[in-house]
Amino acid sequence: MKKKIFFSKMQSLGNDFVILENLTQNFCYSSSLIKSLSNRKLGIGFDQLLIVESSKNKNADFFYRIFNADGTEVSQCGNGARCFAKFLFIKGFSKNKKISIQTKNRIMSVLIQSNKLVTLNIGKPIFNLNKIPFIGKKNKKYKKYFIKLENKKYFFDVLSVGNPHCVLQVKNFKKLNIQKIGSFIESHKFFPNKTNVNFMKILNNKKIFLRIYERGVGETQSCGSGACASVVSGILNKILKRKKICVNLLGGNLEVEWKKKNDCIYVTGPVFHVYDGFFYI
């Protein structure tokens, strides 16, 4: 017998999500089913599938599961967390505009504002290589991490904001093959759990342009965690100021703030409910 599963489609700056709750319904999922649903021609189409579950942690209101379009489960998605919280509020699962959500590796706080903006406290950045995880070593000559592709060296920073990020500073996107470089670095042996790849162009000390190749998805219009990781990289390299940084992405702008090294990172941007629907399994 077929089962009807209800969902909502939401997006932030073109980074789109299917969100469904497993509180009142029972969605039995598999990686192959998720991959099928993510197909933009034969399925619903999405960058990530987000599932609402009850939290067993007294400090969190809900548990938040994240699956990439290829069916793999991950531990973090900044834009997804903001859409997730807005979904909980507009569907009546939470009456509070400040919601705490638990992922597989951290608890985050989300504030829903009245002007369609949602702010996420994504937590503190992680630099411990074992926790990212990352197994490369800095080159003694350049004192930087780099990966070589077709005799060209790509220098980068690595960190985690709940998921691994590789941040490259670029000057010109015209001759940059995001798909080729992104997919190569994403699956490189330096990153045991793969990585998101961020291509950052500095516009001034308070603004960057960013293109992101997300692991398990490919290039997306926007990425909240990528915006956070890139701003942290820019600040640590003394290229960006410790102020509110405007992150310009293909889908629009996010605002990221990281005041001190031991502080949490805050990312703010718009969230939109696109439509509700259902499918049968």
For the chain, the domain total comes to 2
Q: Is residue 128 part of a domain?
A: no
What would the mean pLDDT of 9-37 be, rounded to a whole number?
Answer: 95
Both 111 and 161 in one domain: the answer is no
Closest residue by Cα to residue 165 from 201, 193, 205, 206: 193
pLDDT interval class at 248 (50, 70, 90): very high
User: Are the C-beta atoms of residues 86 and 193 closer than 8 Å to each other?
Assistant: no
* Average confidence (pLDDT) over 27-37: 94
Write down the pLDDT at residue 262. 86
91/20 same-domain check? yes
Q: What is the pLDDT of residues 57-94, one digit of tens each?
A: 999 999 999 999 999 999 899 999 999 999 999 999 99
Please tell me whether residues 114 and 9 are part of one structural domain.
yes
Asked if residue 232 and residue 192 are part of one domain, the reply reads yes
Strand 62-68 vs strand 48-54: parallel, antiparallel, or unpaired?
A: antiparallel
Judgement on whether residues 256 and 161 belong to the same structural domain of the protein: yes
pTM score: 0.93
Region for 72 from its dihedrals, namely left if φ exceeds 0, alpha if ψ lies in -120 to 50, beta otherwise: beta
Domain span at residue 218 reads 145-263
CB contact burial 118-144 (16+ within 10 A = b; e otherwise): bbbbbbbbbeebeebebebeeeeeeee
The per-residue pLDDT for range 168-204, each reduced to its tens digit, is: 999 999 889 999 999 999 999 999 999 999 999 999 9
The tokens for 207 are 């603004």
Question: In which band, very low, low, confident or very high, does the pLDDT at 157 lie, cut at 50, 70 and 90?
Answer: very high
Reply yes or no on whether the pLDDT at 133 is more than 90: yes
Q: Measured between alpha carbons, how far is 218 from 48 in angstroms, rounded to an integer?
A: 11
Average pLDDT of the chain is 95
Confidence of residue 104 (pLDDT cuts 50, 70, 90): confident
- Would you say residue 125 has pLDDT above 90? yes
By annotation, the residues acting in catalysis are 77, 223
